[in-house]
Chains A and B, each alone.
Chain A
C-alpha cells in the first residue's frame, strides 16, 4: 500500500519561499508514475499545482509558472515543492499525490498539510 506524507513549515512569512516535501513509502519514486502537488485554500476548491516524473520532466499550472519548482530525490524516495514570492493567497492545505501508472488521475494522496502565510 503506497503512502505519502507531506512535511514542512506550517507558517511562512510573505515574500519568502515555501518548501514542502512528500515522503513516499510502500512504493518507489523511480517507478513510471507521475507525482503531483495540489492545494486547497481554506473554504475553497482544489487546484492542481504541478507534476514530476522521476526522469525529471515537470509540468506546472500556467498560473504559477515562474514561481513553482517541483523536484525529485530518488535517494530519499521523496519529491518536493518550492514556491517563491508567496503571499496570503498561497495560504492553503497542500497535498501530494501519485498518479496511477500510465494514468491521468491521482490514486494515492497524502493527508495534506496546512501552510499559512503571515508575518
Chain B
C-alpha cells in the first residue's frame, strides 16, 4: 500500500490561488469519494479542511475547496493568506478497509 503522491512544496503570493494534487490508484482515490484533506502547523495536531472530496466542515474558510478527477484529488486554496502557510496532507479510504495518507505538501506564502 503506497502513499498517495503529493508535490513536496507549493508556493504563492498573498491573494493568489494554489492547487495541491494528490494522486492515488484505482484501489483508493479512484474508487472512493472518501478523500479528506488536513492542514498541520508545526507542533500541532492536524486540522480537517475538506472531507468526502469536496465538503467543508463548519468553520473552515470557503477559500478552501476540493475536487477529484480519476485517481487524482486536488485541494485549492484561493485568496492565499499568511495563515495558510502549513503542511497539507490528503488521505483516502482504500479497498482493503484501511486508509492511506499522501506524502504531504508544504505550502509557503511568499
Contact = CB atoms under 8 A, between A and B. Distances in A.
B58 to A, nearest CB: 10
Contacts of A45: 3, 89, 101-104
Interface of A: 45-48, 59-63, 95, 100, 103-107, 109-112
B51 A61 contact: no
A48 B32 CA distance: 17
A110 B93 CA distance: 21
Contacts of A105: 34, 36, 48, 51-52, 91
B45 A62 contact: no
Contacts of A106: 36, 46, 48
30 contacts: A45-B3, A45-B101, A46-B38, A46-B40, A46-B89, A46-B101, A48-B98, A48-B99, A48-B100, A59-B98, A61-B1, A62-B96, A63-B1, A95-B45, A100-B51, A103-B52, A104-B32, A104-B36, A104-B51, A104-B52, A104-B93, A105-B34, A105-B51, A105-B91, A106-B36, A106-B48, A109-B45, A109-B46, A111-B45, A112-B45
